Amino acid sequence: MKISDFSIKRPVFTMVTMILVLVLGAVSFFKIPVTLIPELNPPIGVVVTNYAGASPKEVSEKVTKPIESNLATLPGIKSIQSVSEEGSNFLLMQFDWSTSIEDVEMDILQRIDLTPIPEGAEKPRFLKFDPSQFPIIQLSLRSTDASVPISSLATELEQELRRIDGVASVNVSGKITEEIQVLLNQQQLVKYGVGQSDIIAAIQGNNQSLPGAPVETDDGLRLTTRVISTLTTVEDLEGLVVFTNPATGKNVRLSDVASVKKALSEQTLMTRANEQDAVLMSVLQESGSNTASVSKAFQASLKTLLQSKEYENVQADILFDQGDYIQLAIQNIGSSLLFGALFAMVVLFLFLRGIRSPIIIGVAIPYSVIVTFVLMFFADFAINIMTLGALALGIGMLVDNAIVVIENIERHLAMGKSKRQAASDGTKEVGGAIIASTLTTVAVFVPVVFISGLIGQLFKEFALTISFSLIASLVVAQTVIPMVASRILTTPKGNLDARRRRSKAYGNFERSIQWSLRNRWVVIGLTTIFMGASIYGLTKVGTEFLPATDEGFVSISVELPNGSSTDKTDETVKEIEKTLEQEKNVDVFVSMIGGTQQGASQGTSEANKAELYVKLVPLSEREESVFTFVERVEKKVQKNVLNDAMVSFNLQTTAGSTPNTLSFTATDSNEKELKEAVQEIQSTLSSLPHVRKVTNDLNDTVKEIQIEVNREEARKVGLLPAQIGQMVQSITKGVMATQIVSEQEDVFGVRVAYDPDVIKSVASLKSLQLKTPSGSFVPLESIAAITTENGPVSIKRYDQAHSASFTVEYESAVSLGEISEEVDREIEKLSLSENVELNFSGDRELFEGAIDDMILALLLAVILVYLVMAAQFESFVYPFVIMFSVPLMIIGVAASLVITKTPISITAVIGLLVLVGIVVNNGIVLVDYILQQKRAGKSTAESLIISAKDRVRPILMTALTTILGLVPLALALGEGTEINQPMGIAVIGGLISSTFLTLYIIPIIFSFVDSETRKKVFLD
């Protein structure tokens, strides 16, 4: 190879190039952003419409269905899910991963504009999925001093923390604000003939600041004008004249008809941290920001603020910090990488039994990694668990080329050649083989680049990173290794070949090769039996999408029957809190009662719902995983809570998968048939042995007070149904009339509402006094019938049909594939209507969608590897011989997965893909050397034995360095390493079986294709 000769002749030039690359690598490393996983942009769009006052049925018929109909034919659309609730709807559109949401955005907006929307409904809004909309940090804030309100301190902290570079916004849930409450006395209102609307108009009319036109003064100035009449205190409001009796001229002040006071706003959402009053703070980062850097800056600023005297009574508990988890995961995978490199070096020292050769080869690892960082920087990649996982997987392979080169150089030195000549000849002799082996390994990753969907986005950077590192190791083996070897290697003492011939191990190995060549069909038969058993074993290990990652965080959702009060929901939450308080593995837990975090961000509350967020102590400080914790604690919680409370423990990984959960949607255009099907499915699946819980979202009705207006009676008193509805809404909900600014510049809302006693029951509601246009008052029951009826909560649809979504939670000892088979089998037995369709989602949908792509990628990888070798060997026969090393890996892969009880996942299949490129390397080295021996005039039988004997050492060295380099990855020590574990296990197992069997099977297959030994191998 000319490049190796150039490096040997120009050592200074080679060293300067190395130093330059090292400098570039160091700069690149510090410039590359740090994230947990590659940036994902799911093709998901949302359409939201507000239709105030409309029932779920009205929203569904007048808004949801027309929008669905128009959007259903969008290019690339996969499914449309909709929820129609009182006053609003929500449509979720999922597109194929090959579709860019930006490409269809204009089409969506045009179709929305063409959809007829009823009067009173707001224009539908389109929202794109944005990962930056999810918080990167969640923490609770509580006061250690009961006299200090946490709400006001949290608001001040919020303002301070928003200034941090990279922070887009800081949201606080559960904070309590002060307002001025004007509570109207119904009797006094009737006495003075004043209505709620009169009070509101009076307050708004007296609290104004309006600009006028500019006016020129006598001294030549042009000044703006402003009419000011502001209210600043409670006393100002109390003294406000709201009505003047025209008969007597007497003024009626606000204090005559209402009580006015400054009070805390009505708390519909309660938040507690470790059973103490608290607020929940969520931090969102700016799009494109470095998560780890933003997290570090936020925590530093928070720590500084909490140490100040102003916030000394504030206790902050971090619930979830993506930046912390990223740093921990990166450190753990980084440790796996370093330990892998260390183990690889140990192998080199054991085999080479010297100091110089291992050091020369050891240069290949850090140098190749640094070159990879340079290429990653220019490819705009980030350091994450996928790119570092790629380096950890390839760390042992980075020395493979160097081992083959240095081992061959030593062999040439033993022949008596000079150092330079040995370095040149030794590198040239194996140059073709290492280029072929590197290209075959890189070739297997070409199909990964073209895989679409979530898997494509997750593993594209992985595939390219490992390819970068292998190409870098090839360049190092061709340039740096021969240059350094030509300077520092010495001629070994004694004859190396003679020493090996006298070696007992070499003698035994040679005899085993001779025996296998004499008994070819016995060896092939035994191998075939092992392969058959292995394939059977693979069918029994189960399947999963991605390995679940233990992030030490779990959310608990609580739902009581519709219509339950906040107090009843709080009772259930307190029972759960008692259970969590007793758990030593729980670090902190936050409870949100009266709604969900998503609802709170949209300004809505639901009295019958609650959420708890639980953070466990670090993995190193607990003996059980978060999955075992959930299974154990969930059983305890279910025993303690009310029977009618639905409690669900939810786990969500950063990669988007939901561990131990199978989800699907049942659809039917006939609502009655759907309800019957849901009941059958619910009953059947709940009885399965490995199922912890089955839930569905087919909502029943909720009790509500319905006020049906008698139009004739209402007309007699001069009221329209719309006026009655507006008055009842204002009386029962209250109206925010205005805002006042105090002298201290604090802003308070002024809410005008009736005294709570007036609307506390159905009876009091019936006697509600409504003001008519004539000024008289009539009781509500005289113009409307007031009854308690059942009304729908929401209407859910999937692809324009009625739907119900199921969530099946199963034990962690069972795989996704096993539970899927059980569920499919049980559903098949049911006599469901032909119109009922089941659509699986979540991990099962992702796995089924990805596994076909992965199998195709595996087949393409095999074809590409064969074609690359055919081009290298200028033959179709010899690559065919080498390809027999590929199926041999199945034996080890199956054994390793069965022994470790690891299900087949996407990462395990990626491991198989990697193996296709790795296992042929040994075959390439072996076949290439066999051909060299034949060209030297030796017989085929002699060439087979000599090649196996001469190449066993570098083959075992390269295999062991790769295997031991992967051990830390396969052990998955620490957070964030689980996702790459099946890959490490599969590659180790496959490499062990393939390496061992290749030394015997490849010579046997070669003997079959060579005319000289086809019928029988003649050995001396």
Residues 6 or more apart whose Cβ sits within 8 Å of residue 507: 501
* Model confidence at 553: pLDDT above 70: yes
CATH of the domain at 298: 3.30.70.1320
d(CA 882, CA 713): 94
Q: Which of 187-191, 719-723, 889-893 has the highest mean pLDDT?
A: 889-893
d(CA 101, CA 99): 6
Residues 6 or more apart whose Cβ sits within 8 Å of residue 584: none
Same domain, 169 and 294: yes
Helices (H), 545-670: 566-581, 597-601, 626-640
**DSSP state, 98?**
T
* Model confidence at 458: pLDDT above 80: no
Same domain, 214 and 285: no
How many residues belong to the chain? 1020
Q: What is the pLDDT of residues 570-598, one digit of tens each?
A: 888 888 888 998 889 998 888 888 877 76
pLDDT on residue 559 = 85
d(CA 967, CA 466): 17
Least confident of 238-252, 327-341, 434-448: 327-341
Tokens of residue 345, six digits: 């070096």
State the Rg of the chain over Cα: 37
pLDDT on residue 990 = 93
Band (251; pLDDT cuts 50, 70, 90): confident
Over range 323-341, report the average pLDDT.
77
Residue 659 within a domain? no
d(CA 239, CA 237): 5
- Determine contact, residues 243/203, Cβ cutoff 8 Å: no
Same domain, 108 and 159: no
> In Å, how far from its chain's centre is CA 918?
30
Helices (H), 78-195: 101-114, 150-161, 186-192
φ and ψ of 627, to 5 deg = -70, -40
Residue 226 within a domain? yes
- Determine contact, residues 724/781, Cβ cutoff 8 Å: no
Q: How many other CB atoms are found less than 10 A from the CB of residue 220? A: 6
Band (107; pLDDT cuts 50, 70, 90): very high
Q: Which of these three, 775, 792, 809, is where a domain ends?
A: 792
Over range 189-212, report the average pLDDT.
85
Q: How many other CB atoms are found less than 10 A from the CB of residue 404? A: 27
- Determine contact, residues 969/980, Cβ cutoff 8 Å: yes
**DSSP state, 904?**
B
Same domain, 305 and 285: yes
pLDDT on residue 601 = 57
Over range 179-184, report the average pLDDT.
86
pLDDT on residue 176 = 64
- The residue among 491 and 672 whose pLDDT is bigger is 672
d(CA 664, CA 669): 17
Number of domains in the chain: 4
**Degrees (nearest 5) of the Cα angle 948, 954, 960?**
115
Three-state DSSP state, 379? coil
- The residue among 496 and 560 whose pLDDT is bigger is 560
Band (496; pLDDT cuts 50, 70, 90): low
d(CA 142, CA 335): 37
Least confident of 178-182, 335-339, 909-913: 335-339
d(CA 320, CA 283): 10
Helices and strands (H, E) in the chain, number of each type: 37, 30
pLDDT on residue 606 = 75
pLDDT on residue 604 = 62
Same domain, 97 and 124: yes
d(CA 637, CA 589): 15
φ and ψ of 1005, to 5 deg = -65, -40
Q: Which of these three, 97, 128, 159, is where a domain ends?
A: 128
Residue 709 within a domain? yes
User: Rounded to whole angstroms, what are the CA distances from 225 to 208, 212, 215, 287, 521?
Assistant: 14, 5, 7, 44, 106
- How many Cα atoms are found within 13 Å in the side-chain-facing hemisphere of 827? 20
User: Rounded to whole angstroms, what are the CA distances from 119 to 51, 63, 83?
Assistant: 9, 11, 20
Band (893; pLDDT cuts 50, 70, 90): very high
pLDDT on residue 109 = 92
DSSP assignment of 829-867 equals: HS---TT-EEEEEHHHHHHHHHHHHHHHHHHHHHHHHHH
Residue 341 within a domain? no
Same domain, 783 and 891: no
Same domain, 202 and 70: no
Residue 24 within a domain? no
Same domain, 193 and 171: no
Q: What is the pLDDT of residues 85-105, one digit of tens each?
A: 878 888 999 988 778 888 888
Q: Which of these three, 792, 827, 843, is where a domain ends?
A: 792
Q: What percent of the chain has pLDDT over 90?
A: 6
Band (522; pLDDT cuts 50, 70, 90): very high
Residue 88 within a domain? yes
Residue 958 within a domain? yes
d(CA 996, CA 888): 9
SS (H, E, C) 328-350: HHHHHHHHHHHHHHHHHHHHHHH
CATH of the domain at 1012: 1.20.1640.10
Measure CA of the first residue to CA of the last residue in the chain; give whole Å.
37
d(CA 482, CA 391): 24
Same domain, 774 and 913: no
Same domain, 969 and 900: yes
CATH of the domain at 87: 3.30.70.1430
Q: What is the pLDDT of residues 784-828, one digit of tens each?
A: 888 877 766 778 888 888 888 898 988 888 888 889 999 999 998
- Determine contact, residues 613/319, Cβ cutoff 8 Å: yes
Residues 6 or more apart whose Cβ sits within 8 Å of residue 688: 822, 823, 826
**DSSP state, 131?**
G
- Determine contact, residues 140/278, Cβ cutoff 8 Å: yes
Over range 867-891, report the average pLDDT.
88
Over range 895-904, report the average pLDDT.
91
DSSP assignment of 157-168 equals: HHHHHTTSTTEE
* Model confidence at 602: pLDDT above 60: no
Strands of 275-389 (E only): list them: 276-285, 314-321
pLDDT on residue 293 = 84
Residues 6 or more apart whose Cβ sits within 8 Å of residue 38: 381, 382, 384, 386, 387, 457, 458, 460, 461
Nearest Cα to Cα of residue 73 among 40, 42, 104, 41: 104
Tokens of residue 877, six digits: 């026969």
* Model confidence at 500: pLDDT above 80: no
Over range 695-708, report the average pLDDT.
75
d(CA 907, CA 815): 15
Domain that residue 951 falls in: 503-539+875-1019
**Degrees (nearest 5) of the Cα angle 774, 758, 197?**
40
* Model confidence at 657: pLDDT above 70: no
User: Rounded to whole angstroms, what are the CA distances from 439 to 80, 230, 951?
Assistant: 44, 79, 20
d(CA 742, CA 576): 43
d(CA 860, CA 381): 25
**DSSP state, 265?**
P
pLDDT on residue 531 = 92
Nearest Cα to Cα of residue 551 among 615, 633, 611: 615
Band (747; pLDDT cuts 50, 70, 90): confident
d(CA 30, CA 851): 36
Same domain, 750 and 780: yes
Nearest Cα to Cα of residue 466 among 911, 6, 920: 911
Cβ-based burial of 48 (10 A; exposed 0-12, middle 13-18, buried ≥19): middle
Q: What DSSP element (H or E) covers 868?
A: helix 842-873
Over range 724-744, report the average pLDDT.
83
d(CA 922, CA 556): 52
- Determine contact, residues 1003/948, Cβ cutoff 8 Å: yes
To 10 degrees, what angle do helices 385-394 and 322-352 make?
10
pLDDT on residue 702 = 66
DSSP assignment of 34-49 equals: B-SS------EEEEEE
Q: What is the pLDDT of residues 266-286, one digit of tens each?
A: 666 778 888 777 888 888 888
pLDDT on residue 695 = 85
Over range 458-466, report the average pLDDT.
84
φ and ψ of 958, to 5 deg = -65, -40
Same domain, 197 and 151: no
pLDDT on residue 603 = 55
* Model confidence at 987: pLDDT above 80: yes
- Determine contact, residues 691/809, Cβ cutoff 8 Å: yes
Q: Tell the residue number behind the tokens 């309660």, with chain if given.
A: 270
Tokens of residue 472, six digits: 């870098």
> In Å, how far from its chain's centre is CA 523?
47
pLDDT on residue 93 = 92
Band (445; pLDDT cuts 50, 70, 90): confident
Residue type, 133: Q
CATH of the domain at 192: 3.30.2090.10
Q: pTM above the 0.85 mark?
A: no
Residue 213 within a domain? yes
Residue type, 942: E
Over range 380-397, report the average pLDDT.
79
* Model confidence at 989: pLDDT above 90: yes
Nearest Cα to Cα of residue 318 among 278, 270, 371: 278
Residue type, 420: R
